[in-house]
Amino acid sequence: MLNPGITQRVVSRMDDGCPPRSIHDELAIEEPLEIRVAGDPVAVTMRSPGEDARLAVGFLFSEGIIASIEDVGRVFHCGRPGTEGYGNAIDVLPAPGHNLDIERVSASRRGTLTTSACGVCGRQDVADLVARCSVLPPGPEIPAELLIKSIDGMRRIQPTFTHTGGVHAAAAFDRDGRTLVCCEDVGRHNAVDKAVGALLFDRLVGASAGPVLLAVSGRASFEIVQKAAVAKIPVVASVSAASSLAVDLASDVGITLAGFVRRKSFNLYAHPERVAQ
């Protein structure tokens, strides 16, 4: 099965002491996706093609436009297959009797470009994002080993990264360490939106069998913690560092935030009481 997020280009390979040679290299695809609600454009994000329905639903959930998957009636790409641009615009229709409040997306954000590096670009402030976060209750307690295994487990199921080295990943795990979903994208925030969207489609957000840990590649930014809080995921583990605003938000909303998770060590930035030593 072809991976929709991978393409090939001819590149000049330079090796020490050898003349350049032409090779075919696999690259991660980056293309725009316009997200619409009932035909009204809400945002444009630079993403890896594939899992667009998950991405759109996860994004709308994090923004507060939908409260659950029950608000969603239909998700579909706009246009006709084979036409130019097909697959780069996706429309989310509300379920019968449901109204989706796109005014929750600030005027400064709507219709603007969200790059693969920044999911909150175009905002005047982050107050509307923080307002979506409720304080999570204490628990559950998890073994330190689960933090380490989550990062290792995520790395083993990243086919696009294996071929290209050019994407991020986000994976959700239950309290027994089982992988619920793992998604890849050129943008960290998109990978998380895809994972949250998958959890919504599977009706696992807020469920007793739902996720207790979100593992992410790269650093843990404010937006990653915000999306975890909205999805009621109490633990976030990152391969790299956490930003100051991410630590502040995690402390305020009751999220255990771990960074620099390695095979034998990690940093706990907020709410270490969930991690059993």
- Do residues 234 and 156 share a domain? yes
Provide the 3-class DSSP secondary structure of residue 67. Answer: coil
CB-based burial label for 226 (10 Å; 0-12, 13-18, 19+): buried
> Over the stretch 173-210, which tens digit does the pLDDT of each residue have?
999 999 999 999 999 999 999 999 999 999 999 888 89
Distances from the Cα of 60 to the Cαs of 35, 127, 164, 190, 243, in angstroms? 9, 17, 29, 12, 24
> Over the stretch 87-118, which tens digit does the pLDDT of each residue have?
899 999 999 999 887 776 654 455 555 655 55
- Do residues 116 and 149 share a domain? no
- Do residues 92 and 154 share a domain? no
Cα separation of the two ends of the chain: 43
Mean pLDDT for the chain? Answer: 90
- Do residues 214 and 253 share a domain? yes
- Do residues 163 and 251 share a domain? yes
- Do residues 196 and 267 share a domain? yes
CATH code assigned at 81: 3.10.20.10
- Do residues 154 and 259 share a domain? yes
pLDDT value of residue 189: 96
Provide the 3-class DSSP secondary structure of residue 159. Answer: helix
Instruction: Say if 195 falls within a structural domain.
Output: yes
Counting the structural domains of the chain, the total is: 2
Active site residue ranges: 118
- Do residues 218 and 170 share a domain? yes
- Do residues 102 and 208 share a domain? no
Instruction: Say if 25 falls within a structural domain.
Output: no
Distances from the Cα of 137 to the Cαs of 117, 142, 254, in angstroms? 31, 14, 7
pLDDT value of residue 85: 64
Which range of residues forms the domain containing residue 245? 142-276
- Name the domain boundary from 103, 131, 159: 131
Give me the residues paired with residue 44 across strands.
34, 113
What are the tokens at 64? 């507060």
Tell me the whole-structure pTM to 2 decimals.
0.90
* Phi, psi dihedral angles at 28 (to 5 degrees): -75, 130
What are the tokens at 210? 């739902």
What is the C-alpha separation between 173 and 28, in angstroms, rounded? 25
Instruction: Say if 65 falls within a structural domain.
Output: yes
- Do residues 102 and 180 share a domain? no
CATH code assigned at 192: 3.40.140.10
Radius of gyration for the alpha carbons in the chain, expressed in angstroms and rounded: 19
- Residue 122 confidence class, pLDDT cut points 50, 70, 90: very low
Name the nearest CA neighbour of 189 among 33, 26, 2, 41. 33
Name the nearest CA neighbour of 40 among 81, 80, 94. 94
Give me the amino acid identity at 8.
Q
Burial 133-143 (b: 16+ CB within 10 A, else e): beebeeeeebe
